[in-house]
Amino acid sequence: KAGVTQTPRYLIKTRGQQVTLSCSPISGHRSVSWYQQTPGQGLQFLFEYFSETQRNKGNFPGRFSGRQFSNSRSEMNVSTLELGDSALYLCASSMGSLRDTKDTQYFGPGTRLTVL
Amino acid sequence: GQQVMQIPQYQHVQEGEDFTTYCNSSTTLSNIQWYKQRPGGHPVFLIQLVKSGEVKKQKRLTFQFGEAKKNSSLHITATQTTDVGTYFCAGRAGSARQLTFGSGTQLTVLP
């Protein structure tokens, strides 16, 4: 099985711009979770999508949004970029069954976003 | 909200020495997962622990889940340079699906 793929791998933007990141989960996985990783804050949960619906959300401002398509691919959007948004954005896919709290997440390689 | 603390933040060991990282949760966990992230890479799933007092081994790695299901540890015996990376624990509380990650322990192995 192919792993989780994320595009683009690297991105440079300037303050005030917006950005869209893409994630394709492992085939058969219906849940996609997004994380922000920075040296100071570690791995911070952004949100989880399942069957095109946001199922969980972390404590991030409304500038961070996402969506999921019928083929389970997901996109994450950050509007009005700030310097502090520079980070590695990781997506993770899993089977996603609500009753399965032992669901394992498999991470993609991430998108390295630099905001200048 | 749920918090997962992990110590130490950094650990430098000589190749061949043992290494342990500890994870403590503010709430009882339904399960805990461990991930390894190599420098420049992404987190890779290592193992999941579910039962109270559970111990699992993967070659030189030993994972433990505390009796109260609020703490966990990862022990590496006789470290090798291939063990270099950051080790994260991630826990789920109750019936929640969301994983809360520890801050990670960055392991450096000196040859």
Confidence of residue B96 (pLDDT cuts 50, 70, 90): confident
Sheet of A19-24: strand order equals A5-7, A19-24, A74-78, A64-68
- Interval A30-89: pLDDT, tens: 999 999 999 877 899 999 999 999 988 999 999 999 999 999 999 999 999 999 999 999
Q: Which residues of A touch B103 (CB under 8 A)?
A: 42
Give the model's pLDDT for residue A20.
98
pLDDT at B28 over 70: yes
Distance from the Cα of A15 to chain B's closest Cα (Å) equals 25
Q: Which of A26, A19, A46 is nearest to A35 (CA)?
A: A46
Tell me how far apart the alpha carbons of residues A91 and B95 are, in angstroms, rounded to a whole number.
22
Give the model's pLDDT for residue A89.
98
Cβ within 8 Å, pair A90-B95: no
Cβ within 8 Å, pair A101-B98: no
- Which DSSP symbol is given to A62? T
pLDDT at B109 over 80: yes
Q: Which residues of A touch B45 (CB under 8 A)?
A: 104-107
- Average pLDDT over chain B, rounded to an integer: 94
Average pLDDT, integer, range B60-71: 97
- Average pLDDT over chain A, rounded to an integer: 93
Question: CB-based contacts of B15: which residues, under 8 Å, 6+ apart?
Answer: B79, B80, B81, B109, B110, B111
- Whether the CB-CB separation of B100 and B89 falls below 8 Å is answered with no
pLDDT at B1 over 90: no
Using the Cβ of A107 and the Cβ atoms of chain B, whether some distance falls under 8 Å is answered with: yes
- Which DSSP symbol is given to A101? T
Q: Which of A74, A34, A38 is nearest to A53 (CA)?
A: A74
Confidence of residue A95 (pLDDT cuts 50, 70, 90): confident
- Whether the CB-CB separation of B74 and B8 falls below 8 Å is answered with no
- Whether the CB-CB separation of B23 and B64 falls below 8 Å is answered with no
pLDDT at A9 over 80: yes
Average pLDDT, integer, range A8-22: 97
pLDDT at B93 over 70: yes
Average pLDDT, integer, range B101-106: 94
Residue B16 parent element (H or E): none
Average pLDDT, integer, range B83-106: 90
pLDDT at B24 over 90: yes
Strand-pairing partners, residue B49, are: B32
CA angle B105, A60, A12 (to 5 degrees): 75
Confidence of residue A99 (pLDDT cuts 50, 70, 90): low
Average pLDDT, integer, range A97-105: 74
Give the model's pLDDT for residue B98.
82
pLDDT at A101 over 70: no
Distance from the Cα of B99 to chain A's closest Cα (Å) equals 8
pLDDT at B95 over 80: no
